[in-house]
Structure 1
Amino acid sequence: MYPAQDTASSPMPYDPASVYLLETMVSISCQVPHHIEDLWPILFEHLSALLHHDSAGQYSILLIERAVAGLLHLCLILAQKPSLRDQICVSLDLLSGLPPGVASSVAEQIVVGIILLVQKYREIIKSQTEWKLVFALLRSTLTHSEAARLSFDLVNSLVADGPEQLVTMDNFSALLTLLNDFATIAGGTVEAHQNQRRRHGPLTVSTSFVGVPGFQ
């Protein structure tokens, strides 16, 4: 168990041993998926101690990154066990509670894990609650440009015509909310660029070559 931290203190420094032991624990567990039912309670106890909303900001972000990646990797194992599939929702709910700053720092790990889960085991994400958790996680990563791009690609694949299309009554509302967030962020970005151009003034012959030798 990881020691409790004072929430007013700065994050703990990076500890290579902690990362190594965490990755070793996850790796061994993934190599023996037939024992996941016995191992899961122990695994989740350790991971939730790191990723709980009140403690995630107190650990090195490198350790949190590996914890997020490890948890989502384990979710792929859980998806193979019908008796443990409800624990996927528990895990996603844990990740959705990460503080915004932490969620942004681990955005790519979250999105990549969600993409793998949806692509490989889309049949386990059916209910309104499950889709809300998935889309809530994607929404939490939209401030990270690369993660947002990956999220948008995933959403495009879900709504595209054809056998891969996954729009249902259970996910339609949450999907619209996510798309609205994409539009809001995109609009804000465009407006920011326009304001920046206005501050610099219109491009003219006299301003086009400022700083270029021979055109002072």
Structure 2
Amino acid sequence: MIRVLLADDEPLTRAGITAVLAADPEIEIVAEAGDGRAAVELAIAHRPDVVLLDIVMPVLDGLAVAAELTRTVPTAGVLMLTTFSADEQIAAALDGGARGFLLKTGDPRELFAGIRAVADGAAYLAPTVAHRVIQRVRGKRLSNEARARKAVDALTPREREVLALVGAGLPNAEIARRLHVVEGTVKVFVTSILRRLEVANRVQAAIIAHEAGLL
């Protein structure tokens, strides 16, 4: 049996969701909450497998509840079910610990699939949400790559050569051997590279080398 806590500030919405879930004998709603603070308290009391959570609620909104439950009831999988699907809200929910994100306008079969996935410890996104998340991640990656290439293009050819070897994880001594220079010269190059890239250490420089496609 999958034990579900339903949190939504609209009584009619809760009634509708309850009616839909009643069709599955393996899903049991153990408690209902009309505000965020009650959702946290009931989750602590009932320890449900899944918390089905709206974003817009009084006292505490769903994003705050998701973050709180991740800390206080980590065994409860948070599944957002909402009409609001701005990219910022999706990202905030997932960053806050939610394992899934569904839309109230979606197919009821997505609700059953989402509850089962989250109860099993997996993640679940409505197909339309998944597409937007992929696009957002892809856009962020492309943006990072563009910034990295611009930063690397400002380096001298020799600095780019050293950066590529730093990105490959080579120590200064090995870099010096490959470039046929003394180790002290490599240290000077690395110091200059870190300063010009405005990073604090070799790891951050290596990330930029990867993003810029030097390797």
User: What TM-score, normalized by structure 1, do the two folds share?
Assistant: 0.33
Structure number with greater CO (CA < 8 Å, separation at least 6) is 1
- Indicate the structure (1 or 2) with the bigger Cα radius of gyration: 2
Greater fraction of residues in helix? 1
* Larger relative strand fraction: 2
TM-score normalised by L of structure 2: 0.33
